[in-house]
Structure 1
Amino acid sequence: MILNRLFEFMPGLETFARYEKSWLKDDVTAALSVAAVALPVAIAYAQLTGVNAAVGLYSCVLPMLVYALFGTSRQLIVGPDAATCAVIAAVVTPLAAGDSLMHWQLVMTMTVMTGFWCLIASRFKLGVLADFLSKPILMGLLNGVAITIIVGQFSKIFGFTFDEKYLLERLSGAPSYLSQTHVPTFLMAVLTVIIYFVMKRLKPTWPASMFAIAVGALLVWLFNLNQYDIAVIGSVAGGLPSFQTPVFNIGIARELVMPALNLAMVSFVSMMLTARSFAAKNGYDIDADKEFKALGLANIASALSQGFAVSGADSRTAVNDANGGKTQLVSIIAAVLIAIVAVFLTAPLEYIPSAALGVVLVIASVHLIDFKAIWVLRLRDRQAFYLALTTLFAVLFIGVIPGITLAVLLGLFQFLRTVMRPTDQVLGLDAKGIIRSIDGSDKAVAVPGVFIYRFNSPLTYFNSTYFKRRLLERFARQNQLEPVDCVMIDAVPCFTHLDLSVMAMLIDIEALLRKRGVSLVLAGRKRQLISWFEQTDMVVGEEGIIIRSDLYLALKLHQSHLAATTEPTSESAETTAANQSILSHSQI
């Protein structure tokens, strides 16, 4: 019992308890590859965030160890992420106002806040938020962030400094900036690109980014290229991270609360897309709520080790899977290797050219760009295409943080629109007596004298008015074609919880229909509806709203009632007999 609870709390322990020796070779091979890819990327993302290179390494070690214990994905690798770092830099840079120590402290504070938001979400079982930001919105967001990063790195590649903050202003000043190109810096960037793609061509499985950066650092060291004003990352304070309490104005920290919430949302959704895809590929499931907790603990661990916010790293996860990684042991081994570099081998890092890191960031960001997928949406789903495009332009034109806020709001509005204005159908019977939607195919026809309605969303106070309007509009159209004496509502999809506004709306509909001599029947959720009606003192039965177990029984009893209460003419008798014949073939 205790062991099961421990496994429930730390899913990774269960994997290690059942570890098979045959997995070890693949896990070690994958860990070496992951560490080789993670090292240069972590240093580059530290530069993007605006902190020391060693901080990027610290941001890998503890988070990877923590996720290995608390995460439910066997392949996912957590660590610095392009979108995450871009968000942090956009928030923290103006608040720090050039103070490097405050910048670092604000980065850690925002990371802790992000972690706590994730833990709160996990506590309240909000893993469903993985589906909150739709794929089109996330596509637009990542494309916009990638373009923003790429343009921002041009200053390192060409050797100038941007005076403007926003993308459009930077692009408008491109001719002036390009005229300021520092030739030695640009040549170093070109050399890095050449080495990267030559390595990719000759040795596709080797870590091309690390090799290109290492060659650049070696050239700086051998030929003292500093004398040509080629910028390098400079002194790297290695060793074990020391805990420090941030010292800054609480008012500034307050500015980080909502950006941290946005960051938690985007990081989690992005991570879940990666985790789910590799889980499906390898034949297992992941727990979204536990993933929220694992991400929160990983971010808190990163902050405690002086690092910055982390998320699921899709490129490193892909490397892990491609090299046959089987379990979370890959993360542990890779974290140990990175820790060794961070503590003992930081001296060579100071010779790494900033231009080379800029190239690595551009290459990593290019992989996030997928305009083709957005364009395909135009043909498949025009609404999704507009959502993706709106998010993309928002990030480009108004900035990363406002763009992310807009993306979250778009996700919320999309959800509310789906719930408040859902699809609905008028139902009828086909030739086999099966209830189905009446559409242009003529496979189903309306039951004479009966209007059957289905509303495809839970009814609540903010869509009850729309429900009432749609029901009466569609009822009126059918009633014009043929008189209707009974309205039936499929209660299964729409009556999911008690809402007093909905109950009041039903009373209004029943009163309107009764004045026209039409009865109102709710079909499905019988016990639940009767209980709600009793709580709200609503009338059930012939004198009020009729409740039946399902639509088939409601139709059967309605036809029986007509047969018992009317003196049929030859024509009406034939109609009644035909309806009963159809219903006799249906599923009751």
Structure 2
Amino acid sequence: MLRLVRLLPPWLIHPNRDGLRDDLIAGSTIAVMLVPQAMAYAMLAGLPPVVGLYASTLPLLTYALLGSSRQLAVGPVAIISLMVFTACAPLAQSGTTDYVALVLLLTIMIGFIQFVAGLLRLGFVVNFFSQAVISGFTSAAAIVIALSQMKHLLGIQLGTEKNVFKLVAEIARHAPEANGATLALGAASVAGLWFLKKRFPHFPSAILFVVVGTLLSYFGLSKLGVETVGAVPRGLPGFTMPRFSLDAVRHLVPAALAICFVGYMESISVAKYVAARAGHKIDPNRELLGLGAANLVASLFSGYPVTGGLSRTAVAYQAGARTQRAAVMTSVLILLTLLLLTPLFYYLPKAVLSAIIVVAVGALLDYKEAVHLFRIKRADGLTFLLTFVCTLAIGIEQGLLIGLVFSLGLFIWRSSHPHTAELGYLESEGVFRNVLRHPEAKVYPGTLILRPDASLYFANTKFLEDCLAQDVAGRPGIRWIVLDMSGVNDIDAVAVDVLEKLVGAYRHRGIEFAFAAMKGPVRDVVKRAGWEEKQGHVHYPSLQHALRGIRVLGDSGGDL
């Protein structure tokens, strides 16, 4: 019971009036944003628009109870909606009962994976994935999302082609069939929304265009072939139990894992950013629990996958949200919308909803990030570019997977090829430095000083062995090898064994080893390996001590 109470948010355990007005204002602001966005994103996911509203009610309340962020605005987002469509469209016709059942099954799978990951405290895993992958993926996804809305902006029929280049060709082929009224409304909506977003970023422009577009449709545009949302069911979301099928689960597992990862990355990134500015901390594992529970609830009450939204969270923070009472207010207002206002959406043009999507995802196309990554480190720039191109050319899930594999491959390669520097004494500063960067640094006759700048483990000891062999081969007359271990934070048993073998092999060649500046955790490992009892395994607290100990320097320090 005490553990359950600890999971509850402070604003619920110790309610107070501080910031209540700000929370109510922020919650109302987000509700005004979320109603048209949720309907638009549900349409992007191949679902009836009302499903987006369902996903914006009870899931928000659930996250508000369990999540650790005070300002995170949870709900439907564009990228997750596209990934849902990409996963389910090959298995059923979008909008049908079977399709909705697949989405509910996918949602409960996502919720289960996230919730269990939170219980197992796996939030740290996200640290292994490069931001370059996410940036490349979201930039490509923004293009895919925008192109997928051309059918509603032009009033034409398009297939479910995943390859962007083929999709562009299909759009060009069907463009002459565009409905003039739909094209005019869509173009005007995109231009107007973009202008208002740039000039008046806090103005609820989406609601304005929803109202204007609905009125124009009601007074005649619908008769010119402009497609509208149609009847939207009134009432609260009902309880639904997803239909389980082993075959469907097997097909949806890769998509569920990809959506879990992307959703969590988007959510935790914006949550940490806002929390840092607001002066509080985010618990990654509790975020997994909160998002997992929100998606479980979404699957049971006719919703679809949700996560923290970047733009809505930023607006919530700027509007003064202090706690998740703002999310509660948002949820209540959308419930009231479902109860009272859904008949007003009958004449809402789909072109307006698509325009909202296109303008919203425009911020995700971040070419500046690519330039920044290439300037700072070319490998990260290549990761961005590879993920971007593969997502466009092959598909959403495949592009993300390729980017992740490439990123992890780079990580493994870097850790297996640690930077290793030969050191010399820089007399002008009184320190040891890399002789490649400081050719004037003094080296000592018969002594090679090396510093590996990484933890030593089974995958990189061969690289260290090769570095030693290369340096010794180029320096005849070497009598001592001094390893500066100050850059080694950890060492495993395999690396200890390899070092022992190296000591023995070089001793047969008349070369001895000395180890300097071992950190505590490393000393603990070598102590358990019995180095103190073994002859020749000498270690010193610093390089100066090591050089004096092997009598390269005199007792007074010589010329150091």
TM-score normalised per structure 2: 0.92
- 5 Å-filtered alignment, 1:257-268, equals 257-268=253-264
Q: Which residue of the partner structure matches residue 126 of structure 1?
A: 122
Contact 1:47 1:53 in 2 (8 A): yes
Aligned to 1:367, the other structure's residue is in SS state helix
Change (3 A) 1:495 1:206: closer
Cα distance between partner residues in 1 of 2:291 and 2:543: 46
2:7 aligns with one of 3, 6, 9: 9
Cα distance between partner residues in 2 of 1:241 and 1:421: 55
Q: Which residue of the partner structure matches residue 403 of structure 2?
A: 407
Contact 1:60 1:79 in 2 (8 A): yes
Change (3 A) 1:476 1:121: farther
1:488 aligns with one of 473, 477, 482: 482
Deviation for aligned residue 1:80: 1.0
- 5 Å-filtered alignment, 1:177-326, equals 177-193=174-190, 195-196=192-193, 200=197, 204-223=201-220, 225-247=221-243, 249-326=245-322
Contact 1:230 1:353 in 2 (8 A): yes
**Residue 522 (structure 1) aligned with residue 522 (structure 2):** no
Cα distance between partner residues in 2 of 1:197 and 1:507: 66
Cα distance between partner residues in 2 of 1:580 and 1:396: 63
Cα distance between partner residues in 2 of 1:447 and 1:116: 61
Cα distance between partner residues in 1 of 2:186 and 2:426: 69
Contact 1:63 1:79 in 2 (8 A): yes
For 2:208, the aligned partner's letter is: F
Q: Which moved more, 1:314-323 or 1:510-519?
A: 510-519
Deviations 1:122-145 (A, max 9, x none): 233332233333222211111100
Cα distance between partner residues in 2 of 1:555 and 1:8: 55
Deviation for aligned residue 1:552: 4.2
Cα distance between partner residues in 2 of 1:549 and 1:198: 64
Q: Which residue of the partner structure matches residue 449 of structure 2?
A: 452
Contact 2:229 2:346 in 1 (8 A): yes
Contact 1:29 1:323 in 2 (8 A): yes
For 2:510, the aligned partner's letter is: G
**Residue 94 (structure 1) aligned with residue 90 (structure 2):** yes
Change (3 A) 1:126 1:98: closer
Cα distance between partner residues in 2 of 1:408 and 1:70: 29
Q: CA RMSD in A?
A: 2.6
Q: Which moved more, 1:376-385 or 1:318-327?
A: 376-385
1:558 aligns with one of 547, 550, 556: 550
Deviation for aligned residue 1:254: 1.1
Q: Which residue of the partner structure matches residue 157 of structure 2?
A: 161
Change (3 A) 1:376 1:237: same
Cα distance between partner residues in 2 of 1:423 and 1:476: 19
Cα distance between partner residues in 1 of 2:473 and 2:417: 20
Contact 1:196 1:211 in 2 (8 A): no
Cα distance between partner residues in 1 of 2:517 and 2:389: 46
Cα distance between partner residues in 1 of 2:536 and 2:205: 75
Contact 2:426 2:441 in 1 (8 A): yes
Change (3 A) 1:498 1:374: closer
Contact 1:133 1:411 in 2 (8 A): yes
Contact 1:197 1:208 in 2 (8 A): no
Cα distance between partner residues in 1 of 2:40 and 2:327: 20
**Residue 581 (structure 1) aligned with residue 558 (structure 2):** yes
Aligned to 1:21, the other structure's residue is in SS state coil
For 2:557, the aligned partner's letter is: Q
For 1:41, the aligned partner's letter is: Q
Contact 2:242 2:300 in 1 (8 A): no
Q: Which residue of the partner structure matches residue 504 of structure 1?
A: 497
2:438 aligns with one of 435, 438, 441: 441
Cα distance between partner residues in 1 of 2:259 and 2:411: 20
Cα distance between partner residues in 1 of 2:542 and 2:119: 37
Which runs of 5 or more residues in structure 1 are unaligned? 563-575, 584-588
Cα distance between partner residues in 1 of 2:544 and 2:57: 61
Q: Which residue of the partner structure matches residue 467 of structure 2?
A: 470
- 5 Å-filtered alignment, 1:365-376, equals 365-376=361-372
Q: Which residue of the partner structure matches residue 546 of structure 1?
A: 538
Moved over 6 A (4+): none
Question: How many positions carry a matched residue from both structures?
Answer: 558
Aligned to 1:547, the other structure's residue is in SS state strand
Aligned to 2:449, the other structure's residue is in SS state strand
Cα distance between partner residues in 1 of 2:452 and 2:195: 59
Contact 1:137 1:391 in 2 (8 A): yes
Q: Which residue of the partner structure matches residue 376 of structure 2?
A: 380
Change (3 A) 1:251 1:434: same
Aligned to 2:264, the other structure's residue is in SS state helix
Deviations 1:321-374 (A, max 9, x none): 221222222111111111211233222223211111111111111111121331
Contact 2:193 2:359 in 1 (8 A): no
Cα distance between partner residues in 2 of 1:304 and 1:177: 39
Cα distance between partner residues in 2 of 1:330 and 1:26: 8
Contact 1:217 1:349 in 2 (8 A): yes
- 5 Å-filtered alignment, 1:353-368, equals 353-368=349-364
Deviation for aligned residue 1:316: 0.3
Cα distance between partner residues in 1 of 2:410 and 2:308: 25
